[in-house]
């Protein structure tokens, strides 16, 4: 079973989208969480654009990476290019990827939608490889 952690700088936009999509797509086939290098708050526009596609992330919470340990996961995905800032043990999981997607922070709804759709495609590809 995949145990997936999506990591971003603040855990407020991209990683929250990825967590929401992965939970919906994988169901009970995977354990999914997300974290930030530092905890923050979920951007309300993230919640809004995810709701547009039928994914409710309103109850998700931003969590710092320090709340987790690498042993809990066999897949770690960085969404923001922050892999270079992760402690080495996080890079040594069974599967590590750095998707390096643009941060929609400060953008309009269309910017958030574009990133949401990119995250969706990446998560779908990740979960299709079993």
Known catalytic residues? Answer: 8, 80
Give start and end residues of each alpha helix (H) in the chain. 14-26, 44-52, 88-91, 109-128
Q: What is the DSSP letter of 130?
A: -
CA 10 – CA 17 distance, rounded (Å): 13
Residue given tokens 């069974």 in the structure block: 94
Contact between 62 and 41 (Cβ < 8 Å): yes
The tokens for 108 are 């309009």
């Amino acid at each position: 079973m995949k145990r997936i952690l999506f990591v971003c700088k603040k855990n407020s936009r991209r990683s929250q989208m990825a967590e929401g999509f992965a939970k919906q797509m994988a169901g009970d086939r995977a354990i999914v969480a997300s974290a930030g290098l530092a905890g923050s708050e979920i951007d309300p526009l993230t919640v809004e654009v995810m709701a547009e596609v039928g994914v409710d992330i309103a109850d998700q919470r931003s969590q710092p990476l320090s709340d987790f340990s690498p042993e809990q996961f066999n897949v770690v995905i960085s969404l923001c290019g922050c892999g270079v800032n992760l402690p080495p043990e996080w890079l040594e999981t069974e599967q590590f990827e750095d998707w390096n997607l643009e941060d929609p922070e400060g953008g309009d709804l269309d910017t958030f939608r574009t990133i949401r759709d990119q995250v969706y495609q990446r998560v779908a590809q990740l979960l299709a490889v079993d």
